[in-house]
Amino acid sequence: MKKLLITGGAGFIGCHTASYFAKKGHEIVIIDNLSRKGSLDNLNWLKKQHPITHYKTNIQDEKAVEDVFRKENTIGAVIHLAAQVAVTTSVSNPRDDFDINALGTLNMLQAVRHFCPQAPFINASTNKVYGLLHNVKILEGLQRYEIEKKEGINESEPLDFHSPYGCSKGSADQYVIDYARIYDLNTVSVRQSCIYGERQFGVEDQGWLAWFIIATVLGRKISIYGDGKQVRDVLYVQDLVELYEKFIEQGSNLNGKAYNVGGGLNFSLSLLEFIDILKDQGLEISYSFGDWRPGDQKVFVSDNTKVIKELGWEPKTTPVQGIQTIVSWVKQNKDLLKSYISD
């Protein structure tokens, strides 16, 4: 049994991660400033099920982060999920985006270096570090864009931080890799594609899959930025959390590696295909089209070959299965979700 420190532990991915490891008997410590929509509800949901230690701390505050590590002095692993997660927000406020994503990650790495240097450090990175994929030929079909690299994008793809968000997350990604090289920390950077699941209080610019479902069930109109043919591989949150467990088990074998992680080609969707799935489930969906936004990729599909080969992990939950689960959760929690959506 380990003591696990999870930053952003009251967020969407964080609360599922905390619950999963708590059920396995691990002691869970959360750092979360509760600034995200739904985070307090997620924290209360967690506390009803498990004994959770929570610190309402900003990771940008170096001293506050050190105080947590000093108090919780037997940390066995760190899962770093806290972040500013929206490209649009990074464009409107790049300073805050940098402070949270880049500086916050550096503060966490420094704390691990000084207080628990043997602890595995798992960093939730993003496919946005690859930018607009200028080196990849993109083909246009009837309902989706495709890439010539049929298997998807692997870790050899050149990094191209095409937005303030890409810059801040890319900086964090590289610090995580370099701290393994320079300070011999056990780090890994997980370049995640689109993660989805229950307890995701999605909005237009982050958590789009959940947002489409929430808006549709609540009778709201959806805006599609672009032509709807843009494609993402989607990964159900429980499948991701099980991968985190495999990373922790690797311990000193992590060695500052980076992995592309997503649903892969078989679990990829365009927005138009996603809308068809919702219609097949009997939902009436209203939408309109708008201009492309800065940093929007026409297509991203993760090539999971490296993580499959080295850790024996593969996604299990199909998009239709996962979407059905979220639709059910949204229908059961309409009153809660209405309280977070302004007219």
pLDDT of 343 higher than 60: no
The pLDDT value recorded for residue 293 is 79
- CA pair distance 77, 266, nearest whole angstrom: 32
When pLDDT is cut at 50, 70 and 90, the band that residue 213 belongs to is very high
Distant-in-sequence, close-in-space partners of 175: CB < 8 Å, separation ≥ 6? 102, 105, 106, 109
pLDDT of 227 higher than 80: yes
The domains located in the chain, with CATH, are: 3-338 (3.40.50.720)
- CA pair distance 150, 333, nearest whole angstrom: 39
- Cα angle vertex 62, ends 188, 33, to 5°? 80
Q: For 154-179, what is each residue's pLDDT tens digit? A: 999 999 887 888 899 999 999 999 99
317-342 average pLDDT score: 89
The pLDDT value recorded for residue 148 is 82
Which two three-digit tokens encode residue 121?
A: 């450090």
122-138 average pLDDT score: 88
Percent of the chain scored above 90 by pLDDT? 69
Q: For 49-96, what is each residue's pLDDT tens digit? A: 999 999 999 999 999 999 999 999 899 999 999 998 887 788 889 999
Q: For 216-225, what is each residue's pLDDT tens digit? A: 999 888 888 8
Question: Judging by beta carbons within 10 Å of its beta carbon (0-12, 13-18, 19+), is residue 64 exposed, middle or buried?
Answer: middle
Of the listed ranges 41-50, 60-69, 89-98, 187-196, the least confidently predicted one is 89-98
The pLDDT value recorded for residue 311 is 95
Q: Which letter does DSSP use for residue 202 in this model?
A: -
Query: Annotated catalytic residue: which of 130, 165, 175, 259?
Result: 165
The pLDDT value recorded for residue 204 is 58
- CA pair distance 225, 244, nearest whole angstrom: 32
Q: Are 17 and 6 in contact (CB under 8 A)?
A: yes
Q: Which residue's entry shows tokens 């059961």?
A: 332
Q: Is 287 a catalytic residue?
A: no
pLDDT of 296 higher than 80: no
When pLDDT is cut at 50, 70 and 90, the band that residue 207 belongs to is confident
The pLDDT value recorded for residue 269 is 94
Mean pLDDT of the chain, nearest integer: 92
When pLDDT is cut at 50, 70 and 90, the band that residue 205 belongs to is low
pLDDT of 206 higher than 70: no
When pLDDT is cut at 50, 70 and 90, the band that residue 339 belongs to is confident
